[in-house]
Amino acid sequence: MISPTMQDALNTQINIEQHSAQLYLAMSAHCAANSFKGFAHWLSVQASEETAHAAKLIQFLLDRGGRLQLRAVPAPAAEFGSVIEVMEKTLEHEKGITGKISALFELAREEKDYASEITLQWYVTEQVEEEANVGEIVAQLHAVGDKGGAIWYLDSKMGKRGA
Ligand code: OFO
C-alpha cells in the first residue's frame, strides 16, 4: 500500500504531466497557425508522450492500491512567439520537469518506497533524453536563425518524428 504522502506527490506529478501535454498541444497549434507544420507535428507527438507519462503513473498508483485524484489542469498560453522561442520555452519547461522528477525520486527514497523509486528511475532517464533532444533542436535553431531556407529544412526534419 502506498503512503498518503507518496500518493499525494504522485497525483501532483500526474497533473504536471497532463499540464505538459496541454502546453505542447497549445504550442503545436501555435506552430501550425504560423505554417511550421513540422514543428507542429513534433510538438503534437510530444503532447502524446506526456499523456503516456501521466497514464503510466496512473497505472502505477492504481497497482499500488492508491487513489487517483485528478485535478484541474491549468490552461496554457495561446501565443508563444517565434519557433526559436517555442523551443526555448520547451527546453525550460523540461528542465523544470526534471527538477520535479528529482524531488519525487528523493521523496521515494525518504519514504523508503522502493517500488516508487524503481518506477521513477524510468522518468529520470526519460528526462535526460528529453533535455538532450530539445537542447539539440534549440542549438540547431540558433545555428540557422528563424529566417531563410534552413528553417524550412529544419521544419521538414521535425515533421518526420515518429510516434
Ligand atoms: Fe513528461 O517528460 Fe516532458 O515534460
Question: What is the reported pLDDT for 162?
Answer: 87
Question: What is the reported pLDDT for 107?
Answer: 98
- The answer to whether the beta carbons of residues 10 and 70 sit under 8 Å apart is no
In the chain, where the domains are located: 4-158
Instruction: Return the percentage of the chain with pLDDT > 70, whole number.
Output: 100
Q: How far is CA 87 from CA 6, 11, 103, 118, in A?
A: 32, 27, 24, 30
Arithmetic mean of pLDDT over the chain: 96
Q: What is the mean pLDDT of residues 56-61?
A: 98
Dump pLDDT digits (tens) for 5-35.
Answer: 999 999 999 999 999 999 999 999 999 999 9
Question: What is the reported pLDDT for 121?
Answer: 98
Could you tell me the fold of the domain covering 4-158? Ferritin (1.20.1260)
Q: Dihedral through CA 86, CA 91, CA 95, CA 96, nearest 10?
A: 10
Which of 2, 9, 21, 1 lies closest to 104, judged by CA? Answer: 9
Atom of ligand 1 nearest to the CA of 93: 4
Question: What is the reported pLDDT for 76?
Answer: 96
Atom of ligand 1 nearest to the CA of 53: 1
Dump pLDDT digits (tens) for 122-157.
Answer: 999 999 999 999 999 999 999 998 778 899 999 999
Mutation to probe ligand 1, out of 19, 24, 50, 134 (largest number of atoms < 8 A from CB): 50
Q: How far away, in angstroms, is 18 Cα from ligand 1 center? A: 9
Q: How far apart are CA 13 and CA 150, in angstroms?
A: 38
Q: CA-based angle 79:82:85, to the nearest 5? A: 85
Cell numbers standing for residue 80? 508563444
Q: What is the mean pLDDT of residues 57-84?
A: 96
